[in-house]
């Protein structure tokens, strides 16, 4: 092991992006991931003719950071644009086309105002294509899955990462590309004040249901990419419906339509509702706003507990305090858990942290 090594904790998009940038500059990197798969909140199911996003479906259209990362790892040719940005809301007399950006405002998307109404971009085989390319670029020997980091300490001039199996890894710098609360637990032995600034991070949960219908079982669909559910659906947490194969190319076979329903779970629904309950409620909601004559042929339910940080002024101030204290100790915070919501913010954060670490 070289004393110049950097340890990245977390193999979601930000962690992999930091590692890729460091590898590109000749750095020695070890990436530790507690789960059995890389990618974090990017997870794509792919079958012939079918692309199903179980996590985030794309990034803001004007992003520079994400296309540059795609170029670094060789998938810039796979970038695709949103086919339509038209979004509707449900009114008593039918669907009403909303002004550009109004749907994002109603849903509370945490993106810069200049991005509202501009849509998203993705990759032809889904956002998982970027994860796969990053893993290839970083290299399997540098990535350890199912490896749980417990704490960060210091031994002489090096940082030590304690692992769940009782072993330790050492490095000159550590990058935390995890959610805020796990980061708080990891840093508590080294920097209690910074840890306390992160432990109370406000978080929201999200559930989405992808539903594949036969086109013959659906009436004429609106030409846009999505529908906002009215207030009467809020009691069970329903927020929006995405007409996935209207929105992005190549998502479903020609004889099928792929729809995706988004929930912000209310009460104990996240823990108590079965996948079947979420799928049933999603199908019922679709049938109330569209003409449906048959049941979905397949469904996929994705639960993301405490996945969405809320970037209110208090949390931003707390992150700034923790960032300053930790970076002075050689520990760096990276990703959308700390530096802005969304894929573009995650990659921009990773780029900035990688440059800081590489510069020493």
Same domain, 316 and 344: yes
What is the number of structural domains in the chain? 2
In a domain, 57, yes or no: no
CB atoms within 10 A of CB 31: 28
Q: What is the pTM assigned to this prediction?
A: 0.93
Q: Tens digit of pLDDT for each residue in 158-187? A: 999 999 999 999 999 999 999 999 999 999
Same domain, 208 and 302: yes
The DSSP string of 131-181 is HHHHHHHH-GGGEESS--EEEEEEETTEEEEEETTS-EEEESEEEE-S-HH
- Residue range(s) defining the domain that contains residue 289: 83-118+203-307
CB atoms within 10 A of CB 142: 17
Same domain, 18 and 158: yes
* CATH number for the domain that contains residue 170: 3.50.50.60
Report DSSP state, residue 113. Answer: G
Q: How far is CA 311 from the centre of its chain?
A: 15
Same domain, 326 and 299: no
Same domain, 182 and 239: no
> What is the percentage of the chain residues whose pLDDT exceeds 70?
96
**Measuring CA to CA, how many Å separate 44 from each of 16, 53, 120, 161, 338?**
16, 5, 17, 31, 24
Torsion of CA 339, 340, 344, 348, to 10 degrees: -20
Same domain, 232 and 299: yes
Indicate the pLDDT class of residue 115, thresholds 50, 70 and 90: low
Question: Exposed, middle or buried by CB within 10 Å (0-12, 13-18, 19+), for 178?
Answer: buried
Same domain, 191 and 151: yes
* CATH number for the domain that contains residue 111: 3.90.660.20
Cβ contacts of residue 64 below 8 Å, gap of 6+? none
In a domain, 49, yes or no: no
Range in 97-106, 270-279, 335-344 the model is least confident about: 97-106
CB atoms within 10 A of CB 70: 22
In a domain, 47, yes or no: no
* Number of H-type helices and E-type strands within the chain: 12, 20
122 in Cβ contact with 58 (< 8 Å): yes
Same domain, 207 and 289: yes
In a domain, 46, yes or no: no
Same domain, 186 and 255: no
Q: Residues 221-233: what's their mean pLDDT? A: 87
Indicate the pLDDT class of residue 340, thresholds 50, 70 and 90: confident
Same domain, 98 and 232: yes
Supply 185's token pair.
């637990």
Cβ contacts of residue 328 below 8 Å, gap of 6+? none
Same domain, 108 and 33: no
Q: Tens digit of pLDDT for each residue in 257-316? A: 999 999 988 889 999 999 999 999 999 999 999 999 999 999 999 999 988 888 888 989
Would you say residue 1 has pLDDT above 60?
A: no
């Amino acid at each position: 092991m070289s004393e110049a090594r950097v340890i990245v904790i977390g193999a979601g998009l930000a962690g992999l992006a930091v590692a890729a940038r460091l590898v590109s500059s000749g750095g020695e990197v070890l990436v530790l991931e507690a789960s059995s798969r890389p990618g974090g909140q990017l997870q794509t199911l792919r079958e012939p003719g079918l692309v199903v996003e179980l996590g985030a479906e794309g990034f803001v259209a004007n992003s520079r950071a994400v296309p540059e990362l795609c170029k670094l790892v060789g998938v810039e040719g796979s970038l695709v644009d949103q086919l339509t940005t038209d979004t509707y809301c449900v009114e008593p007399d039918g669907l009403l086309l909303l002004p550009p950006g109004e749907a994002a405002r109603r849903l509370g998307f945490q993106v810069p105002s200049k991005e509202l109404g501009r849509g998203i971009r993705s990759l032809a085989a889904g956002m998982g294509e970027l994860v796969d390319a990053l893993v290839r670029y970083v290299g399997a020997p540098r990535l350890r899955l199912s490896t749980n980091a417990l704490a960060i300490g210091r031994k002489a001039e090096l940082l030590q990462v304690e692992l769940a199996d009782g072993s330790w890894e050492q490095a000159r710098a550590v990058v935390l590309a995890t959610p805020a609360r796990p980061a708080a637990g990891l840093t508590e032995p080294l920097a209690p004040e910074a840890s306390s600034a992160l432990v109370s991070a406000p978080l929201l949960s999200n559930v989405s249901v992808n539903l594949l219908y036969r086109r013959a079982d659906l009436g004429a669909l609106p030409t846009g990419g999505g529908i906002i559910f009215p207030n009467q659906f809020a009691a069970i947490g329903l927020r929006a419906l995405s007409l996935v194969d209207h929105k992005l190319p190549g998502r479903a076979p020609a004889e099928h339509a792929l729809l995706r329903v988004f929930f912000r779970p209310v009460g104990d629904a996240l823990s108590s509702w079965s996948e079947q309950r979420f799928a049933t409620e999603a199908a019922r909601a679709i049938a109330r706003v569209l003409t449906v004559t048959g049941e979905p042929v397949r469904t996929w339910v994705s639960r993301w507990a405490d996945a969405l940080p809320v970037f209110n002024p208090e949390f931003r101030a707390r992150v700034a305090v923790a960032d300053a204290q930790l970076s002075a100790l050689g520990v760096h915070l990276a990703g959308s858990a700390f530096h802005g919501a969304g894929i573009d913010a995650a990659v921009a954060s990773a780029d900035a942290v990688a440059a800081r670490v590489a510069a020493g």
